[in-house]
Amino acid sequence: MCGIVGYIGHRKAFPVLIKGLHRLEYRGYDSAGVAMISPAGQLNVYKAKGKVAELEHATIGKDVEGTIGIAHTRWATHGEPSERNAHPHYSQSKQLAMVHNGIIENYESIRQRLQAEGYHFVSDTDTEVLVQLIEYVKTTTGLSLLKAVEKALQQVTGAYSIAVLDKETPNQIIAARKGSPLVIGVGKDDFFLASDATPIVEYTQDVIYVGDEEVVDLTLGQQPHIYRLDGSELAYEIKHLVMTIDELEKGGFEHYMLKEIFEQPNTIRASLQEPMQPHIAPFCKAKRIIICACGTSWHAGLIAKYAIEQIARIPCEVDYSSEFRYRNPVLSSEDILIAISQSGETADTLAAIELAHRYGTFVFSICNVVGSSIPRASNDTYYTHVGPEIGVASTKAFTAQVMALTLLALEIGRVKQTITEERYRHLMNEYRLLPDKIEVVLQQNDRIREYAGNLKEAVSALYLGHGYNFPIALEGALKLKEISYIHAEGYPSAEMKHGPIALISSEMPVVAIAPQCDTYEKVVSNIRVVKARQGRIISVVTEGDTQVSEESEFTMTIPPSDECLSPILAVVPLQLLAYHVAVARGCNVDQPRNLAKSVTVE
Ligand code: G6P
């Protein structure tokens, strides 16, 4: 996902665009840029790698005058995150500038055609190909910008939401959409455009939702005009939105938790930019690793135990910080303590760190909040950088913690040669595919919402998982209980027969996490045991699964992946399930009763 914003009217465009980019930053934040036509007729483009704040910094002292502009916050698809690949992109003559959200699939063949015509490309992006094509059409046919955009778009396949500036027509923005979202704001005597309504509603609540394969002409002094790609004009409806500032901050999502669940493709992408190698030297000498954490962070630690022992072959123990600090543990300078904390302020985890220091144990923390107490008390810290997590139930911080910990195991395994170079490369490749796979999982949101109503009367639920996904059973159960107040327990699949089986009845939802893995058949047998006792099975399985799906009243799927990364995928449908059940029960999802985001007391 990327975010685009545009403005044309009587206001200074720059502050409108920057504020809009901040509101859209949840859609991507690896680079940002702005293009504006100055009162003197210059088409100025400024870009920066990193967040919108970096762009603001980069534009200090620059000419940002003007009342017309377009802007972009990027989540890289084609080409690495860099200033060169950041949007807006100029055309060859620098007469046009364009921002784009989406993917032009046939960009390579168009690029080759344009190169043969003498066009040069300065970026690796599909976007630059499209703006060059528009210029090519415009100059070779003499068509207006509007008509050139229509003609160029007839030649592309893929998805786009674009906005184009032409310095020849400083009172006009042309925008278009197919697949990717685009909203137009209609002010009194000005226009806005954006990927969602959040950058618009504080100026006007009158909006037009642009349809697929539609081109919009925003010319000052006229009404908006909307055309099909063949040039025929379309009628449109102006809708009146009612949105509070609170909703605004949620980027259009009903709750922070849902927004944060949907941010995970981007946060996982951001984690991939954060190298783990600089942190691993002390681990290569460690005799033992002890992980301390609380709540959801403890579940991330449990997954790490599987990865650290299987991949890095270092003995690993996982403790609740609150237990560890009081049980007089055996510690030495040959151990390493990993403290995991989203907030960096959890009192018990901080106390566990202080205890470790007394024994000369090296402390490594995995934390989200830069400069918080836990990193300050640690010898070294890896930051997850997922941005503020506001929903009390942790989601995006958890998946980033699991990413960080499994990456740590992988890097140690590579250095200690406990895994082959081939396996390392295979797993790194699997990591790179994760953001797209999470996008696929998120597409089930509507189905999960529709089903969730079936669980709203449940009194209790059991979550079963095995191996890397046993901690996901715990996490799925925790998510459900903390926000919907339905009692839920997570168990290893095979352990169910030693107790919880007594609870199984046709009233009891049993959530089985059963992606393809070496022990899949054993998990299937456990599920059949539940089914034989009339249990209601809800499952998370790998796409294409038939055995568990046949036994289930509702199935959620994840794309195939290596077992050690499957928890990052499997938890996402469970986050959505808990969220929708809680909403169906009328619970305050973002601020569940009795809970706090950060527990700074014992
Ligand atoms: C609280 C929060 C949980 C969180 C736990 C640990 O209980 O409600 O969501 O997992 O604290 O917090 P930390 O910031 O240390 O990860």
pTM above 0.95, yes or no: no
Q: What is the pLDDT of residue 243?
A: 64
Q: What is the pLDDT of residue 281?
A: 94
**What percentage of the chain has pLDDT greater than the value 90?**
73
Residues 51-78 pLDDT 10s: 899 999 999 999 999 999 999 998 776 6
What's the CA gap between 364 and 348, in Å, rounded?
16
Q: What is the pLDDT of residue 322?
A: 94
For residue 248, name the pLDDT band (cuts at 50, 70, 90).
low
What's the CA gap between 355 and 342, in Å, rounded?
20
* Average confidence score pLDDT of the chain: 92
Residues 261-287 pLDDT 10s: 999 998 898 888 888 989 999 999 999
The DSSP code for 44 is E
Q: What is the pLDDT of residue 591?
A: 77
Q: What is the pLDDT of residue 27?
A: 67
- The structure tokens listed for 85 are 């690949």
What's the CA gap between 164 and 172, in Å, rounded?
9
State whether the beta carbon of 38 lies less than 6 angstroms from ligand 1: no
Residues 121-164 pLDDT 10s: 999 999 999 999 999 999 999 999 999 999 999 999 988 999 99
For residue 198, name the pLDDT band (cuts at 50, 70, 90).
confident
Q: Which of 2, 367, 517, 587 is catalytic?
A: 2
The DSSP element (H or E) to which 582 belongs, if any, is helix 566-584
Residue nearest to atom 8 of ligand 1 (CA): 597
Q: What is the pLDDT of residue 30?
A: 81
Burial 346-371 (b: 16+ CB within 10 A, else e): bbbbbbbbebbeeeebbbbbbbbbee
Most confident of 72-81, 95-104, 235-244, 388-397: 95-104
Residues 6 or more apart whose Cβ sits within 8 Å of residue 461: 455, 477, 480, 486, 487, 488, 489, 508, 509, 510, 511
Rounded to whole angstroms, the maximal C-alpha distance in the chain is 81
How many A from CA of 569 to the centre of ligand 1? Answer: 21
Q: What is the pLDDT of residue 597?
A: 62
Average pLDDT over residues 246-275: 85
Residues 496 and 464: beta-carbon distance below 8 Å: yes
State whether the beta carbon of 597 lies less than 6 angstroms from ligand 1: yes
Q: How far is CA 203 from the centre of its chain?
A: 28
State whether the beta carbon of 294 lies less than 6 angstroms from ligand 1: yes
As beta bridge partners, residue 47 has 33
Q: What is the pLDDT of residue 494?
A: 85
Residues 170-185 pLDDT 10s: 999 999 998 777 899 9
Residues 235 and 227: beta-carbon distance below 8 Å: no
Residue nearest to atom 13 of ligand 1 (CA): 341
Residues 6 or more apart whose Cβ sits within 8 Å of residue 453: 584
For residue 599, name the pLDDT band (cuts at 50, 70, 90).
low
DSSP helix, strand, coil percent of the chain (3-state; round to 5): 40, 25, 35
Instruction: Name the residue of 373, 389, 599, 601 whose CB sits within 8 Å of the most ligand 1 atoms, as the mutation to test its pocket.
Output: 599
Residues 6 or more apart whose Cβ sits within 8 Å of residue 515: 469, 540, 541, 542, 558, 561, 563, 566, 569, 570
Is 597 one of the annotated active-site residues of the chain? yes
Average pLDDT over residues 510-517: 93
State whether the beta carbon of 375 lies less than 6 angstroms from ligand 1: no
- Strand ranges of the sheet holding 554-558, from the earlier edge strand across to the other edge: 487-492, 460-465, 509-514, 536-542, 554-558
